[in-house]
Chain A
């Protein structure tokens, strides 16, 4: 070319365009971690965790700060997304190998996401770390392939919440920690009056799986979904019948709003609801009545519930695993657990820190929760559990509204998500 001036201007245009693109691409997310630094030097770790409110995010930032207090060379930067977005972003970052060092795991997703988490057993053995300080069932829930993948910070068994005012207005004795399914049904009938319902039926596996376990059945077979077995069919059928036959639960709209049932219960439209201890803070703030909790009613001689929770782990692309492990022990350490529990944010996975939660949430919750925990089992799932939940959300509504037989609804879920 004979015109260098023009060439330069073309090059400038190209550079500008390319620069813009690169800047946009660079905003796509944090990297997997810088090159290893010499021991004792400053190490920056990024921690990815879901949160719903600014207050929640602030609590996590305080926890991140505790790491630097204990290990001045380790700095933890907190990054966050809403709960559903967390998993989408997690997947995208895992696919591109850019997961941050510290990542968070919910026990229902252990089977689906465990492969992105570095097994913690070697660290535990090296440090003689005391896993026994945590509740057994949540350690089980975060374990995959015989290896613990994350240290838990909170957990909880599914229990039944009841509207104490409604029980008293209907002159019913309050449910006991050893109540039977028959008593539950009698109460539900007595409470179904004047446009109110005794029980808030809802969609999701945890709504009926405790009944499956309590009757001695199982919903998994060799780690795969087994929704066609008779115990599941029976428990699901009984659950659906609460709305279709017993008429103690209201018909439902199809909705993606996961808190619809809780809103109905808090509005006093139904007397009983299934949820975990993580809901207490919200209910205390928003329900205009007194409430209590009880374990699931016994269909026969025992009541077994599921326990689920969350924790933090190390991504397997992390370049500073030793520092990340140190950070983990602080983030789930006694001090952090006390802080989270006394703010009412987490029913502590460390048994010793649970007392602080009871002080805020209510001492009357202690006995029923302890009773439920005694027989609680880890909430085991399949890698397709998200699909199981989504499908149940759609098909349980049809069954509860009486437009689809319970066995057809289960067959649909099994055939689509059973693989």
Chain B
């Protein structure tokens, strides 16, 4: 691109042969980009624009859509009490899941970066749930959460303790969904942090040790500040994906009990494919999109304060 820009500044007579070659290169590049571009256009951009348009319609799928203006959004934000519950559930999930995920993955990454026997084996084990399909993970956990016969109740019974109704009670349903999600998801961030930790030069620790810093101080003063780019990356991605959580509640609880685990995407799915309210589902999708965009923008704005890119 910079080469092209420079050419345009040259007098016309000088530039012609080079411009022609550039144009040919441009066309070739265009040709290569076209299949992917068309795919993006057809299967991403068109649906995105369509869904925005749809969010201003009431469309029960089998009959034709009717324009309702901002009605869907007004209902969503003011009248739909279930949606408020759904929003609360999603925030509950995000604000508990994200810190837990980061603490567990960071803690284990730091532990494994020391002299641990079979560290690579552990890394593989911790990463396994990430490459296992989420539906399979959730199905296995739903068996472990079963009343009486499930693993957790069985373990508790062995020490004569009664287990709670893991997936059936208001108090435990969401924590159960979160616990399963942390188990299934922390492996990815563990890898991110492992890579980040390896990039920190050893001599910084040696210097800190010479200055008399304890392990604890080394972690807070050396490791953590130098790991902030990885932390930032992990935080942004984990936040985005946790706002979009769907599979875990869909498979574990189906949104119950009493919509206590229905998340934004699950509610969107319900409205679109169970209740056939396509317009309303599109409005939820756009609400979620704006929410995620705001959160991500805030993170990018705030990173200047706490992310250190210079070594």
Q: How far is the CA of A381 from the CA of B34 in the complex (A)?
A: 50
- CB-CB under 8 A from A256, the residues of chain B are 250-251, 253-255
Asked if A43 lies at the interface with its beta carbon under 8 angstroms from chain B, I say no
Q: Does B254 contact A254, Cβ atoms closer than 8 Å?
A: yes
Q: Does A21 contact B39, Cβ atoms closer than 8 Å?
A: yes
Question: Using a Cβ–Cβ cut-off of 8 Å, how many residues does chain A contribute to the interface with B?
Answer: 44
Asked if B103 lies at the interface with its beta carbon under 8 angstroms from chain A, I say no
Asked if B178 lies at the interface with its beta carbon under 8 angstroms from chain A, I say no
Q: How far is the CA of A88 from the CA of B82 in the complex (A)?
A: 23
Q: How far is the CA of A16 from the CA of B32 in the complex (A)?
A: 11
Asked if B61 lies at the interface with its beta carbon under 8 angstroms from chain A, I say yes
Asked if B261 lies at the interface with its beta carbon under 8 angstroms from chain A, I say yes
Cβ-neighbour of B254 out of A13, A92, A113, A255 (below 8 A) = A255
- CB-CB under 8 A from B147, the residues of chain A are 250-251, 253
Q: Does A13 contact B31, Cβ atoms closer than 8 Å?
A: yes
Q: How far is the CA of A92 from the CA of B262 in the complex (A)?
A: 24
- CB-CB under 8 A from B257, the residues of chain A are 254, 394-395, 397-398, 401, 403-404
- CB-CB under 8 A from B166, the residues of chain A are 253
Q: Does B62 contact A17, Cβ atoms closer than 8 Å?
A: no
Nearest chain B CB to A155's CB is how many angstroms away? 24
Task: Flag A73-87 by CB within 8 Å of B: 1 or 0 each.
Answer: 000000000000000
The closest CB in chain A to the CB of B80 belongs to A416
Q: Which of B163-179 touch A at CB < 8 Å?
A: 165-170, 173
Q: Which of B44-73 touch A at CB < 8 Å?
A: 61-63
Cβ-neighbour of A10 out of B27, B39, B42, B169 (below 8 A) = B27
Q: Does B270 contact A403, Cβ atoms closer than 8 Å?
A: no
Nearest chain A CB to B154's CB is how many angstroms away? 14
Asked if A384 lies at the interface with its beta carbon under 8 angstroms from chain B, I say yes
Q: How far is the CA of A6 from the CA of B167 in the complex (A)?
A: 64
Q: How far is the CA of A270 from the CA of B201 in the complex (A)?
A: 63
Nearest chain A CB to B141's CB is how many angstroms away? 12
Contact A398:B258 (CB < 8 A) given known A253-B168, A390-B274: yes
Asked if B225 lies at the interface with its beta carbon under 8 angstroms from chain A, I say no
Asked if A257 lies at the interface with its beta carbon under 8 angstroms from chain B, I say yes
Asked if B300 lies at the interface with its beta carbon under 8 angstroms from chain A, I say no
The closest CB in chain B to the CB of A399 belongs to B258
Q: How far is the CA of A395 from the CA of B260 in the complex (A)?
A: 10
- CB-CB under 8 A from B62, the residues of chain A are 91, 94-95, 113, 115-116
Q: Does B258 contact A403, Cβ atoms closer than 8 Å?
A: yes
- CB-CB under 8 A from B27, the residues of chain A are 6, 10
Task: Flag A395-411 by CB within 8 Å of B: 1 or 0 each.
Answer: 10110010110000100
Cβ-neighbour of B61 out of A14, A95, A250, A404 (below 8 A) = A95
Contact A409:B34 (CB < 8 A) given known A21-B39, A251-B147, A401-B168: no
Q: How far is the CA of A134 from the CA of B194 in the complex (A)?
A: 69
Task: Flag A1-15 by CB within 8 Å of B: 1 or 0 each.
Answer: 000001001100110
Q: How far is the CA of A256 from the CA of B255 in the complex (A)?
A: 8
Asked if B219 lies at the interface with its beta carbon under 8 angstroms from chain A, I say no
Q: How far is the CA of A259 from the CA of B111 in the complex (A)?
A: 43
Nearest chain A CB to B161's CB is how many angstroms away? 16
| Residue in A253, A393, A398 whose Cβ sees the most chain B Cβ within 10 Å | A253
Q: Does A252 contact B34, Cβ atoms closer than 8 Å?
A: no
Q: Does A18 contact B258, Cβ atoms closer than 8 Å?
A: no
Q: Does A253 contact B262, Cβ atoms closer than 8 Å?
A: no
Q: How far is the CA of A403 from the CA of B171 in the complex (A)?
A: 10
Show the binding face of A for B, using Cβ within 8 Å: 6, 9-10, 13-14, 16-18, 20-21, 88, 91-92, 94-95, 113, 115-116, 195, 250-257, 269, 384, 386-387, 390, 393-395, 397-398, 401, 403-404, 409, 412, 416-417
**Given A254-B253, A394-B256, A397-B258, 6 more pairs with CB closer than 8 A:** A6-B27, A91-B61, A387-B275, A390-B270, A390-B274, A395-B257
Show the binding face of B for A, using Cβ within 8 Å: 24, 27, 31, 34-35, 38-39, 42, 61-63, 82, 142, 145-148, 165-170, 173, 250-262, 270, 273-276
The 8 closest A-B pairs by CB, nearest first: A254-B256, A256-B254, A398-B258, A394-B256, A13-B31, A253-B167, A254-B253, A398-B257
**Can you show 11 pairs from A to B with CB atoms below 8 A apart?**
A9-B31, A10-B31, A17-B35, A20-B35, A113-B62, A253-B165, A390-B274, A393-B254, A395-B257, A398-B170, A417-B275
